[in-house]
Amino acid sequence: MQRGQERGDDRNASMRALVYEAPRTLRVRDVPAPEPAPGEVIVRVAYSGICGSELSGYLGQNELRRPPLIFGHEFSGWVAEVGHGVEGRFSPGQPVTVNPLIGCQECRLCLSGRPHLCPRRRLLSASLPGSNAELVAAPASAVYPLPPGMPLDRAALTEPTACAIRAVRQAHPLPGQTVLVVGMGPLGLLMLQVLRVYGVERLIAVERNPHRLRYAEEMGAVGIVPSGDVAQQVRERLGEEGPAIAIDAVGSTATRRLCLESVEPGGRVVFFGLHEPESSLQVNAIVRREIECVGSFAYTPEDFATALRWLHQGKVSLPGRTVTAPLEDGAIWFERLLECQDDVVKVFLQPSPDADRAL
């Protein structure tokens, strides 16, 4: 469907969106609906997940997310319209998900398959309007058709699963190794699943929330509640020097130090979480124990495609309780997720009651 066909060339069309207006202030508003520019696709949103990075934005602690802004970058839905140059590639009502991280497609990093590192990259829910709305615009190159029969709620997990895949790939795990993952939020739990796909069976999970720790233990991980000397607890549970790999899915000074102190000499630490921008770490210990430290940011297009495929194949799924809520309840769930006390792992917002039905 070309530009203007669905809305009868009504340039005053509006839609409902959950708008971030100020720290800890979200309201459902009527805002102008997006129109497809050349090369773009308009997606009618079915499921839009709340991400931890948006929780920091909601608190006013993320400089990339400034009001007024529509959050949401983990989503699935249906093609509603296409812009010029996209005709024939997508059809109205086609189920899709979207890679929300958009590179310039011109620089060396983009051309080498690493648009997530592009200095001019843009992100839906940060530099562009996100998916906590009835409609969202995206470049056609970022739109991925779903495999036949794939549920839309599962497809909405593609983006966080891609993040988990990237972190594990940066760790280079081998079967038989022991891997520690700190933080059992959605991404930490997905990392455990991805590590299983890579053949890693000896897993250690550190988490304060007892419900999330239980989900990790149900996947076969050894669970540890952080108190006292956690690194010593890790070594005692292993009966050896420490895990070969540690992944920090939180990003605080405490969790970064825990990973460095826990891993075996010559081991590898993957820094994924971004909770604190700076940390004071024992660099001399890193040098003397030859700890290899590597960052993991977002994902490549290859990671995103792999995530979609593995979710469809059932190789990866998010354990624990998932909640689907109307857009009007978005502010309530942002606050509940900040408390991190109950058994809810993931919250999907639905912009309209029939959003998961085909056009």
DSSP assignment of 6-32 equals: TTTT-TT-EEEEEEEEETTEEEEEEEE
DSSP assignment of 234-269 equals: HHHHHTSS--SEEEESS--HHHHHHHHHHSPTT-EE
Question: What is the per-residue pLDDT across 195-213, written as a single tens digit (0 to 9) for each?
Answer: 999 999 999 999 999 999 9
pLDDT, position 355? 66
Rounded to an integer, the average pLDDT of 165-184 is 97
Query: Where does residue 13 rank: exposed (0-12), middle (13-18), buried (19+ CB within 10 A)?
Result: middle
Task: Outline which parts of the chain fall under CATH 3.90.180.10.
Answer: 14-157+318-350
pLDDT surpasses 70 at 9: no
Question: What is the per-residue pLDDT across 223-272, written as a single tens digit (0 to 9) for each?
Answer: 999 888 888 888 888 877 899 999 999 999 999 999 999 999 999 999 99
CA distance 277 to 165: 23
Mean pLDDT of the chain: 93
Could you tell me which CATH number the domain at 164-295 has?
Answer: 3.40.50.720
Phi, psi at 235, each rounded to 5°: -65, -40
Question: What is the per-residue pLDDT across 271-328, written as a single tens digit (0 to 9) for each?
Answer: 999 999 999 999 999 999 999 999 999 999 999 999 999 999 999 999 999 999 999 9
pLDDT, position 359? 59
Instruction: Please tell me the pTM assigned to this model.
Output: 0.94
How long a stretch of residues is the chain?
A: 359
CA distance 255 to 227: 12
Q: What percent of the chain shows pLDDT beyond 90? A: 87
CA distance 58 to 174: 38
pLDDT, position 227? 84
Pick the more confident residue, 1 or 219.
219
Q: How confident is the model at residue 2 (pLDDT cuts 50, 70, 90)?
A: very low
Could you tell me which CATH number the domain at 14-157+318-350 has?
Answer: 3.90.180.10
